[in-house]
Amino acid sequence: MPITRRQILLSAAALPLAAQAAFPEKPITLVVPYPAGGPADGYGRALAEALSLRLKQTVVVENKAGAGGALGVQAVARSAPDGYTIGMVGNGASIFTPIMSDKLVVDVMKETTLLGKMVRTPNFLVVGPTVKAQNLRELVAYAKANPGKLTVASAGMGTGPHILAELFKQEAGLFILHVPYKGAAPAVQDLMGGQVDMFFGEAPGVLSLIKAGKLRALMVTDTQRVRWLPDVPSAKDVGLPGVVADGFYGMVGPANLPPAIAAQLSTAIADALRTPALGERFDQRGGLPEPSTGDQYGAYIKAEQARWLPVIKRGKITLE
């Protein structure tokens, strides 16, 4: 029986659907733009395992650290838009760097497809042995009476801990000397050694040290107390309701990702984040799952850029 023109057209129309239905046909690479073994890596590997189950295909983690997390995101942006390379992105590359510098390694909003939020990690204001203040009220009183005597460490110029420290100083009306380090780990090491006085650290990096008594937490920069350390007051509790900030990671793919594949990945990520098993693994690392759509993630980035821009301008923070 001869094939009719209508059958040819129907067959042609079905080809894209068949290709989409087959995704994924091979392993997917999930790029973590930070070193192996760190907190972000732990979240990435936990999500990769959960996605492997949902997509019925291997998801392999690849670490590409550098430029504050931007190099790994750039690798995702430059990959083929077929859904087989996705990656994490943190606040630095998506929110802070774009409003501090015109020289971007990668423009997340223009060069990637946003797949959704992933996880947020509360920050704690921690102090070392040099600080005698037993609570935030005493710390603020001392800082006001001794301007410039206290030091606050950061993971580097323009990093989350630096910008959060600037917000704290602005909201509390304090002058505290900023000491930038090349990463959170050396900053925390010197904090415990007494070389610096305070640090704003993400939960995964400081929780165990707080519980071991090596650091003291004076506040959590959240709207409410967190379950890991319920005795630590929130920003609202200490009278600084504006000092709220989380470490945050989202998921992206390269720009021009086919809508059907982007939707499939976005749904799989959000569904995985809602499972109790993944929630428990994140909880063990001090993280809170944040499932969302790509559009919701984009709205979050824009809102956060608008919120942090005045802080950065007042603090005259640049990456130039």
In the chain, the percentage of residues whose pLDDT exceeds 70 is: 93
pLDDT in tens, 164-199: 999 999 999 999 999 999 888 899 999 999 999 999
Identify residue 288 by its one-letter amino acid code. L
Q: How many Å apart are CA 316 and CA 318, to the nearest integer?
A: 6
* Pairing status of strand 151-154 against strand 177-180: parallel
Domains in the chain and their CATH numbers? Answer: 28-120+246-314 (3.40.190.150), 122-220 (3.40.190.10)
Helices H / strands E in the chain, number of each: 13, 10
Query: 232 burial class (0-12, 13-18, 19+ CB within 10 angstroms)?
Result: buried
pLDDT at 7: 43
Q: How confident is the model at residue 44 (pLDDT cuts 50, 70, 90)?
A: very high
pLDDT at 182: 85
Across the range 279-283, mean pLDDT stands at 95
Q: How many Å apart are CA 69 and CA 49, to the nearest integer?
A: 22
Q: Is the pLDDT of residue 302 over 90?
A: yes
Token code pair at residue 25: 């046909």
Q: Is the pLDDT of residue 38 over 90?
A: no
Q: Is the pLDDT of residue 81 over 90?
A: yes
Alpha carbon of 22 to those of 8, 26, 57, 82: distances in Å? 21, 10, 11, 12
pLDDT at 320: 64
Burial 233-269 (b: 16+ CB within 10 A, else e): bbbbebebeebbbbbbbbbbbbeebbeebbebbbebb
Across the range 39-65, mean pLDDT stands at 95
| Residue 29: partners with Cβ closer than 8 Å, 6 or more residues away | 59, 60, 61, 62, 84, 85, 86
| 3-class DSSP string for 29-44 | EEEECCCCCCHHHHHH
Q: Is the pLDDT of residue 148 over 90?
A: yes
Q: Is the pLDDT of residue 18 over 60?
A: no
Token code pair at residue 127: 């102090």
pLDDT at 35: 85
CA-wise closest residue to 317 among 197, 186, 188, 164: 164
Q: How many Å apart are CA 253 and CA 220, to the nearest integer?
A: 32
Q: Is the pLDDT of residue 207 over 90?
A: yes
Q: How many Å apart are CA 156 and CA 182, to the nearest integer?
A: 5
Q: Are 195 and 208 in contact (CB under 8 A)?
A: no
| Cα-Cα end-to-end distance for the chain | 71
